[in-house]
């Protein structure tokens, strides 16, 4: 049996490693359009962007791992088309047959339209190693950076550039930063954190256009204000890489549609990671996280080999900004009330409930709250809100009650 995997990111690398760990002996081909072996992306907007992590530490596994495990890792090789009837993939001028095909193509950052200056020099996104290496020379103390988008990527970029001594302005078109992913109380907490570090956060503020000849020189905001800028980092979300699947006739809708086993609409074709839109508690969604990329890819590997087990996500996520380590357990979709639990020192956690049912926890420098929240969620348990709100409650004891 031969298995082809398209996309050498977190999900693709996890999938091929899991196939071998489960004892699969057949051929594995991993097609990667980037020039380097699979690497972790989270440090690209954290330690690596800050210059505190060497490139070698980004790699998920040394290149020798792939050779040692007879994984045919093809770098700089983009899959161009899939023939689901013939069960072949074309890539690098070759037609590669498969018995099973896994799509782990990830996602692409949304860019500002060229019509508003999005293609000027000095406008960057943060997705790949080469994106980050390209912007590194811009990080000179005293320069002015504009960050467009107040999600986690934008906020992490703001923290790094502020720490490096740049003047940082962050624009968020929505009424508050983190609006899509967090409650107002978490937005308030991070706004205060960034302002304390000198970041000029402007919410409900759209960008009209970037100005400049070839290189960006200024930004005109929707209210007419003009800001001089030296460079721009854009963090306005991602779009799933589904075009290849779509043109092969595989069902797609804001991502490649998969069932709870990771199967797509085409026989023998599977998908996992950022590109896949999966069923979750009666709805369909994409999970853009390392946890999902690894766990879903490993579930797909096992199911390709016949395990026949559904993948039930247990979401967790993290973010680092300045000296704050945010850990999130669960998904807060559908929350209607929040319990704030003060921790030790300046640590705090925000517990999301729908009625009396616990959905998620945002823990800022509070790994105990995160760990307990995660285990309660995994066990489907919802502690009484009064107990969570009371700083005297021993959180660990809740796990035993």
* Interface residues toward ligand FAD, by CB under 6 A: 6-12, 31-34, 41-42, 44-45, 78-79, 104-107, 126-127, 153, 241, 244, 273-275, 288-291, 293, 317-319
Residue closer to ligand FAD, measured from CB, 6 or 338: 6
CB of 289 to ligand FAD, least distance (A): 4
Tell me, what DSSP letter sits at residue 34? S
The residue whose Cβ lies closest to ligand FAD is 9
CB of 295 to ligand FAD, least distance (A): 11
CB of 54 to ligand FAD, least distance (A): 17
CB of 342 to ligand FAD, least distance (A): 25
CB of 38 to ligand FAD, least distance (A): 7
* Sign of the dihedral through C-alpha 283, 189, 43, 161: positive
CA distances from 58 to 61, 72, 139 (A): 9, 21, 20
CB of 241 to ligand FAD, least distance (A): 5
CA dihedral 233, 239, 245, 248 (to 10 degrees): -90
Residue closer to ligand FAD, measured from CB, 293 or 388: 293
Cβ proximity of 87 and 99 under 8 Å? yes
Closest CA to 354 of 290, 245, 303, 281: 281
CB of 396 to ligand FAD, least distance (A): 25
Name the token pair of 102: 């896994």
CB of 14 to ligand FAD, least distance (A): 8
Q: Is 348 helix (H, G, I), strand (E, B) or coil?
A: strand
Name the token pair of 56: 């070698």
Tell me, what DSSP letter sits at residue 100? E
> Going by C-beta distance under 8 Å and a sequence separation of 6 or more, which residues neighbour residue 220?
207, 208, 209, 210, 211, 226
Q: How many CB atoms lie within 10 A of CB 14?
A: 24
Tell me, what DSSP letter sits at residue 253? S
CB of 306 to ligand FAD, least distance (A): 23
Cross-strand bridge partners of residue 233: 124, 147
Cβ proximity of 221 and 205 under 8 Å? yes
Q: How far apart are CA 348 and CA 132, in angstroms?
A: 32
Burial 149-184 (b: 16+ CB within 10 A, else e): bbbbbbbbbbbbbbbbebbbbbbbbbebbbbebbbe
Residue closer to ligand FAD, measured from CB, 182 or 290: 290
């Amino acid at each position: 049996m031969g298995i082809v995997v398209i996309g050498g990111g977190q999900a693709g690398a996890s999938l091929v490693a899991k196939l071998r760990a489960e004892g699969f002996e057949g051929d594995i081909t991993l097609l990667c359009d980037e020039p380097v072996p699979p690497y972790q992306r989270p440090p690209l907007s954290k330690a690596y962007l800050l210059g505190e992590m060497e490139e070698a530490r980004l790699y998920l596994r040394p290149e020798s791992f792939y050779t040692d495990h007879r994984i045919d890792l093809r770098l700089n090789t983009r899959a161009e088309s899939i023939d689901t009837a013939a069960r072949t993939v074309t890539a690098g001028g070759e037609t590669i047959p498969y018995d099973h095909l896994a799509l782990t193509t990830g996602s692409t950052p949304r860019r500002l339209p060229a019509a508003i200056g999005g293609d000027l020099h000095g406008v960057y996104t943060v997705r790949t190693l080469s994106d980050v290496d390209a912007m590194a020379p811009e990080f000179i103390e005293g320069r002015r950076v504009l960050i467009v988008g107040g999600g986690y990527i934008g906020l992490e970029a703001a923290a790094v550039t502020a720490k490096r001594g740049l003047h940082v302005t962050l624009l968020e078109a929505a009424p508050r930063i983190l609006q899509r992913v967090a409650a107002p109380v978490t937005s308030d907490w991070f706004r205060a954190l960034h302002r304390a570090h000198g970041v000029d956060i402007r919410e409900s503020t759209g960008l009209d256009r970037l100005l400049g000849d070839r290189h960006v020189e200024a930004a005109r905001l929707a209210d007419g204000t003009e800001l001089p800028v030296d460079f721009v980092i854009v963090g306005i979300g991602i779009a799933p890489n589904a075009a290849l699947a779509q043109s092969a006739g595989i069902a797609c809708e804001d991502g490649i549609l998969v069932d709870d086993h990771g199967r797509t609409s085409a026989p023998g074709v599977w998908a996992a990671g950022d590109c896949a839109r999966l069923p979750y508690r009666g709805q369909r969604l994409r999970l853009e996280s390392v946890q999902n990329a690894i766990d879903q890819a490993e579930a797909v590997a096992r199911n390709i080999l016949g395990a026949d087990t559904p993948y039930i996500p247990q979401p967790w996520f993290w973010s680092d900004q300045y000296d704050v380590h945010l850990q999130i357990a669960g998904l807060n979709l559908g929350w209607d009330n929040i319990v704030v639990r003060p921790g030790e020192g300046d640590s705090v956690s925000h517990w999301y409930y729908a009625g009396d049912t616990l959905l998620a926890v945002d823990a800022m420098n509070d790994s105990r709250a995160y760990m307990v929240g995660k285990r309660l969620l995994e066990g489907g348990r919802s502690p009484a809100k009064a107990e969570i709100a009371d700083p005297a409650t021993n959180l660990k004891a809740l796990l035993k009650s």
